[in-house]
Structure 1
Amino acid sequence: MGAWGYGNFENDDAMDWVADLEGYSDDGMIIDTLNTIIDQADDYPEAPECSGAVVAAEAVAALLGEPHEDCPDEIDAWVEERTSPSATLVAKARQAVEVIMSNSELKDLWQESEDFEAWQSSLEDLLTRLPY
């Protein structure tokens, strides 16, 4: 994983996902990305998919009017043309983030670094912006 920081947008996989989102006129990419992690909850989701799912959850938070302070302009522009997400989509975003925080390659990679607590805090912050 090419990461330059612990933030949710500070890695190559996340920014590749952001670039791909521009080509979608609906939330299909977000749903597919989140479902990939949810479907692998009993397995071991890999880091690239997890990074994409974290950013997908960030897009859901932005749709709720709760964007991260470092939210890329591409997500801001995409959100401007959309309506609020369904409760089901918000629940999927929360569930995917919870899977990543409990059992994933991304968690294990960050656990091996000195920035694990900061990474974990960034995901906890995201969960606060995704209400039940």
Structure 2
Amino acid sequence: MTQGSYTMLYKQEVAKSIDTDGDGIIGVDELATGLGGDEGMERARQLHSMLDVDGDGRLGLEEFGDSVRDPFRDADFRRQLEQRGAMDPAAMGALHRRHAAQYDAAAVLGSMARAIDTAA
């Protein structure tokens, strides 16, 4: 499995975990659930608007995934991969599950929400 295919798989899995109804579209309510907290809905509206690049009011899984940070940009993640050497897809999947807490949907959405705060 290449870095590019792992990154694509990771982004797809994050997007699918937020799309709780499985319709292929991430709604404001799904973003709000992922963000949690009292301010969730307003921040979710802002985030949805920012991520809806084509402006059609619908946030598809691929469109959302395009905004997810590449896990390979994290130095600790890369270091752990390098220590393991070449990996087959099953080993890569196991590594992904082990790092799920670090790269889960809540963390991804929190990072995106912080971007809203700095942009405002």
The two structures have a TM-score, normalised by structure 1, of 0.27
The structure number with the bigger radius of gyration is 2
Instruction: Report the TM-score, using the length of structure 2 for normalisation.
Output: 0.30
